[in-house]
Amino acid sequence: MDEILRNTFITVLTLSTAIHLWLAKRHIQFVSHHKNKVPDAFKKNISIKDHQKAANYTIAKSELGRKDTLIQACMLALLTLGGLISMISNFFDWISSPLLKDVAIILSVLFISSLIDLPFNYYKTFKIDEEFGFNRMTKKLFFADLYKQMILGLLLGLPILLVALWMLDNAGAYWWFYLWAVWSLFNLLILAVYPTWIAPFFNKFSPLKDKTLKTKIIALLKKCGFTSQGLFVMDGSVRSNHGNAYFTGFGKNKRIVFFDTLLERLNHNEIEAVLAHELGHFHHNHVKKRIVMMFIVSFIGLAMLGYFKDQSWFYHGLGITEPSNGSALLLFMLVGPTFIFFIRPIMAFYSRQNEFEADRYAKKHSSAKFLKESLVKLYRDNASTLTPDPLYSAFYDSHPPAIQRIAKL
């Protein structure tokens, strides 16, 4: 079984990496081929200069993404089959407590992974986004955010990690079910406290001051039967020139948040249409459905880990010489996404259908005309390509291509 698992993992990792690199190459070539002509549906609103900017921005990000994918695949192979996890485990042999040793191993692997990600994130922010006029972040703020993310990750992640490792050792044969229940409750708690405790850790939020816009939004909320804990403006311009709006929170602790950059670009009618689209997601319970889907996937995954944990071939086949609770969790976190890669088209398709559904809701409760105008402005101002490769888009994109989306409004 060791050999079967090892060969299966090598095949899946190689195939998933090759597919991603191939799709990204197709995407780059397709966007490049169509960058000298604006699609007919957008000729009145998007100039050839803006269209080419979006194409070049997409190409730059995709080329960086291909490099990132290749490095991540090599790193995963090194950690597992290359024996790096086992080497890290041997380094911490001086720690007498098995639980604390497992914590040290997991934190070390996560730290190494974050170091691998750092150059790509830095290049994306200070080279690509800077070149295309989107970056407003200083290097000081960039590293301050990294520090905050690390602190927050330890404060939130370390307790749940300790609980998980303790359960693996002490909760009996159904430890995976108890862990799934704790993990699910933990995620619901994070969703509930995110607006008031976590998000302000990174951004400033102030109540919406535009009385005319506020009145218009409140009228829309009443019309749609939606209640909110407040309308807020986020200082997104501190980090980026991109514009957006979103709902955050869970249950009664829901907030509506507008990027300050969005308010600068859209008129009141267009903002109302964007908000109506977001309300459509809540009306159709898209958020709740995604949460349920996440719980189902985590339940299946942890149930499988409950079986694999006691199989020696699970460890030996993936390069672990000394099985432990920590290595079981690590393999679950590292290797699992490689196998899930192949269901991404299904997840992307489901997400795109949700977007169409939310658009229909906005069309009914606001205005198709203003929703179309707002989307065109967002495509233009965020330099989103109007001509993605169809196969790449079908595999990855959570939102429908611009041409399809506008055509249905």
Catalytic residues: 278, 359
Task: State the DSSP H helix or E strand holding residue 108, giving kind and residue range, or none if neither.
Answer: helix 98-123
How open is the CA angle 362-366-368, to the nearest 5 degrees?
A: 70
Q: Is 44 exposed, middle or buried (0-12, 13-18, 19+ CB in 10 A)?
A: exposed
Q: Which residue has the tokens 């405790």?
A: 197
Q: Which amino acid is at 37?
A: K
User: Which CA distances in Å does 247 have to 105, 108, 232, 277, 278?
Assistant: 37, 35, 10, 11, 7
What gap in Å lies between CA 358 and CA 352, rounded to an integer?
A: 10
What gap in Å lies between CA 345 and CA 350, rounded to an integer?
A: 9
How open is the CA angle 39-42-43, to the nearest 5 degrees?
A: 80
| Residue pair 105/330 in contact by the 8 Å Cβ criterion | yes
Instruction: Calculate the dihedral angle through the C-alpha atoms of 324, 326, 331, 332, rounding to the nearest 10 degrees.
Output: 120
Give the list of residues 6+ apart from residue 54 with CB closer than 8 angstroms, or none.
Answer: 379, 380, 383, 384, 385, 386
